[in-house]
Chains A and B, each alone.
Chain A
Amino acid sequence: SQQGEEDPQALSIQEGENATMNCSYKTSINNLQWYRQNSGRGLVHLILIRSNEREKHSGRLRVTLDTSKKSSSLLITASRAADTASYFCATRSVRDRGSTLGRLYFGRGTQLTVWP
């Protein structure tokens, strides 16, 4: 499987604390993306990091990518109760002959709960 795997599966923190979620994947990738899902809703794209990038910031989000370890992390700083959601990493793979180019594979997600 080319799916990413996030850990932890669940994370519970207080408002103001930082939340760190990790993602590991198996194959060579073109890029890695993080998404957020509120309960019972569709996914919303948060941030994309290319395979030649090591770190990227967007507001309170910081994403790192280590292609040698096939892993990524998402850091949410100064968390808020409104950050409570499931967070997924997704990868676009690179394969010979392009047979899987364009497919987007998701991990199982991390359920983040931020308590006020």
Chain B
Amino acid sequence: SQTIHQWPATLVQPVGSPLSLECTVEGTSNPNLYWYRQAAGRGLQLLFYSVGIGQISSEVPQNLSASRPQDRQFILSSKKLLLSDSGFYLCAWSVWNSGVQNTEAFFGQGTRLTVV
């Protein structure tokens, strides 16, 4: 069966420090991968989207970057964190190809990032 791992669960980082959040998927190949951010009491904002190794689409300009060094690994990074980067970060995957459009997304348990 497919599973998704996201870590760490919580993280407190000082302003100006670097960030690396990792997400891995098991049990599937060539997944679509997503990074979302959720501000307190708000909806999910799509940050990055990837359809394959090295293929990253950024949805909004920001202080963050994403990389996909392996098929089932998705990394969210920042060189210097800002206070506004605080939030709940969620990784997700789904199946997508032209013949299989109607599929759901599967989410990790999220990382609560607090920038102090």
Asked if A and B bind, the verdict is: yes
Interface residues of A (CB under 8 A from B): 3, 30-31, 33, 40-45, 48, 50, 88, 90, 92, 101-109, 111
Binding site secondary structure of chain A = strand
Given the known inter-chain contacts A40-B110, A48-B104, please indicate yes or no for A102 contacting B46, CB distance below 8 A: no
A95 to B107, CA, bound (A): 25
B74 to chain A, nearest CB (A): 14
Is B32's beta carbon under 8 Å from chain A? yes
Contact in complex: A102, B32 (CB < 8 Å): yes
B20 to chain A, nearest CB (A): 19
Is B7's beta carbon under 8 Å from chain A? no
Binding site secondary structure of chain B = strand
A30 to B104, CA, bound (A): 12
Is B109's beta carbon under 8 Å from chain A? yes
Q: Which single residue of chain A is at the shortest CB-CB distance from B108?
A: A42
Is B66's beta carbon under 8 Å from chain A? no
Q: Which single residue of chain B is at the shortest CB-CB distance from A49?
A: B102
Neighbour of B107 across the interface among A40, A43, A105, CB < 8 A: A43
Contact in complex: A31, B90 (CB < 8 Å): no
Give B77-116 as 1s and 0s: 1 = Cβ < 8 Å from A's Cβ atoms.
0000000000010101010100001111111111010000
Known: A45-B104, A92-B102. 7 other contacts (CB 8 A): A31-B102, A33-B105, A41-B109, A41-B110, A43-B44, A104-B94, A111-B41
